[in-house]
Amino acid sequence: MNHRHLLPNEIDLLLDSEVGFGVAPLRAHVEECAPCRAQVDEARAVVEALERIPRFGPAPSFANRVMADVQVIEPWHVALTAAVSRFIPRTTGMRVVFGVTASLASIAISSAAVWLAFRGDVAMYLAGLIDERLRATLTAGAASAVRGLLGSGAIEAIGAQGMAAVAVGTAVAVVAAGSAALGLRAMASASRRSRE
């Protein structure tokens, strides 16, 4: 008989039914020692009870449901990149349309802004919505802004170009806006098709 009782890890070795160096003496001790045999039997009963317990696991959709409620804070540049890339089409053809449309839209917006800046008084006069005094104030403001940006000669130059310049500018803006609208419609229908 060995000189000492079994240690917990030695009981584990016996329960795992491992065979190897050192297991045989442990078995021999358990054969002869009632307290150690009782401990091993008790431990074996626990292991067998644990193996009979049904195994519980989360439902497959559990992770998704949790993550749906988690606020993931992403850096602004990541969010911006994702937002922009969502609008960029996947096919090369649609990318060309997208690029042209974006350029046309920016041209339309720029020309409209420039037209308004230089001919804001005309727009307001035609619309007939703004009263005389406000119109005069805004016109004076626009004129002084132009003078500040381009020098006092710019006002005379704009005045000299007259209605021809306004007509050309308006035509460019209208054509650009119309083409941009067509491009946007093409992209919208393309993305609808790809989603179906």
Residues in the site for Zn ion, rule: CB under 5 A?
Answer: 5, 33, 36
Which residue's CB comes closest to Zn ion?
Answer: 33
Least distance from Zn ion to the Cβ atom of residue 24, Å:
15
With 0-12 CB in 10 A as exposed, 13-18 as middle and 19+ as buried, what is 109? Answer: middle
Q: Minimum Å distance from CB 37 to Zn ion?
A: 8
The nearer residue to Zn ion, 14 or 104, going by C-beta atoms, is 14
Give whichever of 1 and 53 is closer to Zn ion, judged by the CB atom: 1
Q: Between residues 7 and 150, which has the closer beta carbon with respect to Zn ion? A: 7
Q: Among 2, 69, 63, which Cα is nearest to 30's?
A: 2
Reading the block at residue 127, the tokens are 């619309």
Encoded tokens for 6: 């079994």
SS (H, E, C) 52-75: HCCCCCCCCCHHHHHHHHCCCCCC
Instruction: Yes or no: say if 129 and 194 are a contact pair by the CB < 8 Å rule.
Output: no
Least distance from C-beta 36 to Zn ion, angstroms?
3
CA distance 138 to 14: 96
105/91 Cα distance (integer angstroms): 21
Considering the complex, state which of residue 33 and residue 175 has its C-beta at the smaller distance from Zn ion.
33
- The minimum distance between CB 5 and Zn ion, in angstroms, equals 3
Provide, rounded to whole angstroms, the least separation between the CB of residue 34 and Zn ion. 8
Q: Which is nearer to Zn ion, 33 or 155 (CB)?
A: 33
